[in-house]
Structure 1
């Protein structure tokens, strides 16, 4: 562990901060508020689009800029608006769709724009929990700029699909997954949770050594490796546990809260009263 003073806590939501029943426990809410009161910044970092962040923001009261769609979007909860985007360009969406459709005719695609999900017929990836998926043709989909291009296969697991997709598109995009479904998520080259947390931290004058991060799935690996200390949850994917500096208890055991309680109890890790500021991030 190379963390010095904790000035920023970056935490994934599903499978990490959020329990399996979709709730955030009172214990976790209390601890997050204590961290903020101690002068640190808490950044919610998720594969979710902004519209799915709102229940967790409301439950926790954390209103600093949130990182959505695996780093593709910075969302300001206070203003309820997207302030910055790092999108996969339509030309790259079209190239990837063409390559993967030729290599595996059974794949189906969807695009998350940040505001909506557009999906071709046969897509069953489940990344439209709000029922707001908009049907579209493959030609229409290939003309969209994507926060995430979602690739579904009816038989391959997420791990198997990741191994199939990554070498075919790695030169022009980032590929990961965050679920147990038959789905992978593709972002613009160089865009990840880690890259966007690093950007926000730099704007606040915070170094990686002053960041503690939490996650559970492959889309969290880069963030856990970048942070001064990266915690994988006890329920995390095996590759995430292997990549982390340390293990936290599971999401259903309030693992994030329990680790942060230990840091709060050891005052040498908490910032001085002067707060890190995320104004203008």
Structure 2
């Protein structure tokens, strides 16, 4: 393909190495994109509170679409510039339905500026290493709009849990998963990585066929199917490998950088 006008890449499992770092090679490849006049967008399930180290590693270049499309974050200023939130009443109904129909779920929510969780919600690696968030009851958890609702199950297969959650609340919110754990991430109805990326591209007069996208997990599928050219890293989920145009090297082998060095 010709040099793309926009590069969109997932972070964890895709552009970042397994230890969560950006390699010097990948950071240099990202710089090539902006130096050539391209638009660089990180499209991630991460909340903004997990983006400070990324912003520093890329010298505050680019924009980030966070929380699977719910929040747009300016890496230059490290500020949220756009939000698409789950309304409090929808949040409450979603939790009530899931509580009644999928036993053993526990919940947490990502707000625009932090998160809260039920006391028995199992925190993941980043949260146990950084900030544990507020432990609250369900009524408090659902009392105000949020960027993302998360539901964790202690034992179910992630793909099966996603199917169950989709059947129960798919008319209220947009469920997906990305971590390899039995952890479902829910955004406002219709909000995905693709919806946010498409809006951002349209504002800049960029068409889908001028976009190249990289990903590794099911939450990347909307973005990868929307972009004109899509790449999975070799370590990607089987559904992602089956959906993309191309496969590059694994995240630990700088697969995204390898492609960008060829394009720019």
Q: TM-score range by the shorter chain?
A: over 0.9
Deviates more, 1:59-68 or 1:45-54: 59-68
Q: Secondary structure at the match of 2:13?
A: coil
Structure 1 segments unaligned to the other structure (5+ residues): 265-281
103, 106, 111: which one aligns with 2:104:
106
Partner in structure 1 of residue 120 of structure 2: 122
Matches of residues 1-281 of structure 1 in structure 2 within 5 Å? 4-126=2-124, 128-129=127-128, 130-264=130-264
What TM-score, normalized to structure 1?
0.90
SS in 1 for 2:44: coil
* Cα displacement string for residues 125-158 of structure 1 (whole angstroms, at most 9, x for unaligned residues): 4262422311000111121312110001111122
Cα distance, 1:61 vs structure 2: 2.1
SS at match of 2:12: coil
Mark the runs of 5 or more structure 2 residues left unpaired by the alignment.
Answer: none
Structure 2 length normalisation: TM-score? 0.96
Structure 1 CA distance, aligned partners of 2:112 and 2:42?
A: 16
Distance 1:132 1:115, change over 3 A: farther
SS at match of 1:118: strand
Any conservation in 1 of the 2:55–2:76 contact (CA below 8 Å)? no
Secondary structure class of the residue paired with 1:128 = helix
* Structure 1 segments of 4+ aligned residues over 3 angstroms from their partners: none
Bigger drift between 235-244 and 58-67 goes to 58-67
Q: What is the CA-CA distance between 1:56 and the residue it aligns to?
A: 1.1
* Partners of 2:244 and 2:76 in 1: CA distance: 32
